[in-house]
Amino acid sequence: VEASIPEPQREAWLKHQVSAFKDKDGFESSFVRHIETTLARSMFNCDETAAYAACSLAFRDRLILEWNRTQQRQTFADSKRVYYLSLEFLMGRALDNAMLNIGQKELAKASEAGLDNLGFRIEDVIQQEHDAALGNGGLGRLAACFLDSLASLNYPAWGYGLRYRYGIFKQEIIDGYQVEVPDYWLDFNPWEFPRHDVTVDIQFYGYVHKSTDENGKTVARWEGGETVKAVAYDVPIPGYATPSTNNLRLWSSKAASGEFDFQKFNSGDYESSVADQQRAETISAVLYPNDNLERGKELRLKQQYFWVAASLYDIVRRFKKTRRAWKEFPDQVAIQLNDTHPTLAIVELQRILVDLEGLEWDEAWNIVTNTFGYTNHTVLPEALEKWSVPLIQHLLPRHLQIVYDINLFFLQSVERAHPGDRDLLARVSIIEESQPKMVRMAYLAIVGSHKVNGVAELHSDLIKTTIFKDFVTIFGPDKFTNVTNGITPRRWLHQANPRLSDLIASKTGTHDFLKDLTLLNKIELSVDDPAFRKEWAAIKLANKAKLAEHIKNTTDVVVDPSALFDVQVKRIHEYKRQQMNIFGVIHRYLRIKAASPEERKKFLPRVSIFGGKAAPGYWMAKQIIHLINAVGSVVNNDKDVGNLLKVVFLEDYNVSKAELIIPASDISEHISTAGTEASGTSNMKFVLNGGLIIGTCDGANIEITREIGENNIFLFGNLSEEVEDLRHGHNYGLHTLDPELVQVFEAIEKGTFGDSKDFAGMITAVRDHGDYYLVSDDFHSYLETHDVIDEAYRNQEDWITKCITSVSRMGFFTSDRCINEYAEGIWNIEPLPVESAEPEKIEA
Ligand code: CJB
């Protein structure tokens, strides 16, 4: 409050109110001003990078004005906010999205005006931006889509995350192998605002001092140890067609003592003072590159506590300014835990309330459990977080005591409700009695939250009947709920596929479907309109040609845009079964080779496109990448094959590449072993862009089928109910390998694709080690379904009908629908619209 300008001086301020550019002339003027002042360049020294920078700064000015208004409005209204805590935000590029959401892209791109008039093509300028890649895959991208929807729907919401200096590594393919290169993305980032005045001191290590206060109550104090400073960086998140601009606050770590320790410096120990500085900065230095895998590293736990403690301090500070009673905290604050990574927030809030604010345990716990919601994203055992008790004891001694107390009170309540059931107590204990003892983070998250949700119907059912079954018995079924994932149509339709978006708008009358995706259903009426169908097909072909160009430029492989493009792009993981895909490709290759020249004419030309990163330590995943590349180099150069089959692996799959690849797909692969892919979200993106999918009955594939109709999707394979029995059978030697898969293995082992030793692990996993992911069990059905796809694709008229019909029925999968479900069912928050500073704004 002291920082605000006194009444008499405000008039001068109001006279100089800053406003953003309003027309083409204003945009050009802002652009040139940024080139010449902010960037210290000129018309004689302005390349595309500078043009990107100036264009971004011009749009950023607008954004930040809206951001200020939104934040003022939210503070003034004092209504409930939601805080989305996620270790990953896979944002991708910001400029194009900002132009579209603000609704002023037209100003920048109009011919003879804007960038064009200044000598640049908007497409090239957009390409200059480095992706913000602070995430691994689906979980991080979901967080980014949610931020877009929260702002677009005017919900008062903040994201909290870490400002990694290095995002997910850049992938290079060298001689067919993945090589990881650091992703230093912060050289020039106009989309963040450092807040050097917003800092929090975060404590680690030390000990707990217990004493008795004047009322005889025991008080615990966490003392000693070391301190690291968290510095806030704010990223404005624009809503679509609304001035609401929310905040993503990312924390960066710094040594608490400032530049370096002067004590040490003056005593001649310069090196170690700099080393302390570097050690502190290490906390937010790098994103852990694992997807669906936890490795229990101390630095990762440090990251988690650092981020959680800084965020909670910030949230609590904001709440305390309202001078409300503590019991009102859950009426003002909802915190969503994106997976178990932020689970320590539960313990930290309890510590703040009990140790620092002096609340009674039960009162505090009531506030805590009413504040948090927990989203589970996986049932894979290797991905469920557990932290060793000695590690937590060392790093966060007071938190470990609180975890033990939470567990004690929880187990006492279980014992009261289920007397004498010792097995149940052991099963649900937050502490696993192993050597060393482990804290089961998912259990802690369930016990400390009022709602737990899965991310697709099947997944939400599975968590209730398998990994969290006992907790349904204890808390009742209502604590568990489903919110099927979604995607933002702004980025994944309008931005990635502008021509398709405009074609749809020509039939629905407006671009309103970008705000209410169910309006897509109107295009079903045009499914027989010849002009519409023709343009539809032309757009797909143009998108494929653009991808073919990229393939040529990056891999030297020439592909025919009229071939069927078969795409699998996602993290490389055994459960996602890229190995099954490449085995299928090999099988097709063998069939082509065995065919006579006459028979060969009957094959439908195909391009198999792969992309995705393997965790650097995931040996099998890297072997899969190597096999794909090895198959590509043989097949693509085989004269017998020609255009009938091409195999490409696209390097460094990321959000901006996804925007290029997804609109160019005919068929995409979502072929996880049933019951393993919690939801999947790229399946939704592909269908929304007029591609069909082949998939197992897993995750959101099931709901996509329900929405678009089973004639419009190619399902195959065993069901999740069958998986357990099949695995059981394998372990008892009842496993006879699929004969077509045997042929594939023989070809690999003969050295068809180079030294077979390089691929032995992938074969033994299936043949000798129990085929955990059921590749052999599903292989025949997979091949058969691909033959069905070939036939379906030959009938282009039917194919286009399927595509149009599917798109028209995809309304359910907008992340706007998810966010409304979370808001109503979990967070209990309402939208808070902001009036625009610029009422005359233009729609995209
Ligand atoms: N997911 O991306 C990750 N990383 C994990 O560690 C665990 C799960 C994915 O989350 C997505 C968003 O909910 C899901 O669509 C996807 O199935 C799941 O694997």
527, 565, 535: which is closest to 809 by C-alpha? Answer: 527
Cis before 289 (ω within 30):
no
Pocket test for ligand 1, best of 300, 339, 378, 573 (most atoms within 8 A of CB): 378
HEC assignment per residue over 145-170: HHHHHHHHCCCCEEEEEECCCECCCE
CA angle 237, 243, 248 (to 5 degrees): 15
How much is the pLDDT for 840?
43
Q: Which residue is closest in CA terms to ligand 1's atom 15?
A: 680
Q: Please state, in angstroms and rounded to a whole number, the distance separating the CA atoms of residues 408 and 368.
A: 17
Domain ranges for the chain, please list them: 21-77+95-128, 78-94+129-482, 563-804
What's the mean pLDDT when you consider all of the chain? 95
344, 364, 502, 319: which is closest to 430 by C-alpha? Answer: 344
Ligand 1 mean position to 383 CA, how many Å?
A: 10
Pocket test for ligand 1, best of 377, 682, 720 (most atoms within 8 A of CB): 377
Rg (Cα) of the chain, in Å, rounded?
28
Mean pLDDT for back-to-back runs of 10 residues, the chain (844 residues): 82 88 91 97 96 96 94 95 98 96 81 84 95 98 98 98 98 98 93 97 97 91 96 98 97 80 66 85 97 93 98 98 97 98 98 97 98 98 96 98 98 98 98 98 98 98 98 98 98 98 98 98 98 98 98 98 98 98 99 97 98 98 98 98 98 98 99 98 99 98 98 98 96 86 98 97 96 98 98 98 98 98 98 72 39
How much is the pLDDT for 261?
55
How much is the pLDDT for 839?
43
Q: Which residues line ligand 1 (CB under 6 A)?
A: 136-139, 142, 291-292, 377-378, 383, 455, 485, 677-681, 699
Q: Which residue is closest in CA terms to ligand 1's atom 7?
A: 292
Ligand 1 mean position to 45 CA, how many Å?
A: 45
Q: Which long-range contacts (CB under 8 A, 24 or more apart) does 345-348 make?
A: 345/85, 345/308, 345/311, 345/312, 345/372, 346/372, 346/406, 346/444, 346/445, 346/448, 346/449, 347/399, 347/402, 347/403, 347/406, 347/444, 347/448, 348/305, 348/308, 348/309, 348/312, 348/399
Q: Please state, in angstroms and rounded to a whole number, the distance separating the CA atoms of residues 683 and 781.
A: 20
Under CATH, domain 78-94+129-482 is a member of which superfamily? Glycogen Phosphorylase B; (3.40.50.2000)
ipTM given for this complex = 0.99
- The answer to whether 334 and 373 are in contact (CB under 8 A) is yes
Q: Please state, in angstroms and rounded to a whole number, the distance separating the CA atoms of residues 370 and 486.
A: 25
List C-alpha distances in Å: 28 to 21, 127, 424: 9, 20, 68
Beta strands (DSSP E) in 698-814 are: 714-715
Contact residues for 571 (Cβ-Cβ < 8 A; gap 6+): 136, 137, 138, 291, 292, 612, 613, 614, 615
How much is the pLDDT for 837?
60
Q: Which residue is closest in CA terms to ligand 1's atom 3?
A: 139
Ligand 1 mean position to 231 CA, how many Å?
A: 29
The CATH number of 563-804, from 3.40.50.2000, 3.30.590.20, 3.40.50.300, 3.90.550.10, is: 3.40.50.2000
Q: Is 716 helix (H, G, I), strand (E, B) or coil?
A: coil
Tell me phi and psi for residue 702, to 5 degrees: -65, -45
* CB neighbour class for 309 (10 Å; exposed up to 12, middle 13-18, buried from 19): buried
Let me know if the fold of 78-94+129-482 is the same as that of 563-804.
yes
Ligand 1 mean position to 143 CA, how many Å?
A: 11
Q: Which residue is closest in CA terms to ligand 1's atom 8?
A: 377
CB atoms near residue 475 (< 10 Å): 15
Pocket test for ligand 1, best of 86, 88, 139 (most atoms within 8 A of CB): 139
Q: Please state, in angstroms and rounded to a whole number, the distance separating the CA atoms of residues 576 and 679.
A: 12
Query: Quick one: which atom of ligand 1 is closest to the CA of 292?
Result: 6
How much is the pLDDT for 708?
98
3-state helix, strand, coil in the chain (%, to 5): 55, 15, 30
Q: Is 715 helix (H, G, I), strand (E, B) or coil?
A: strand
585, 540, 584, 595: which is closest to 563 by C-alpha? Answer: 540
Enumerate the active-site residues. 377, 570-571, 576, 681, 685
Query: Quick one: which atom of ligand 1 is closest to the CA of 571?
Result: 2
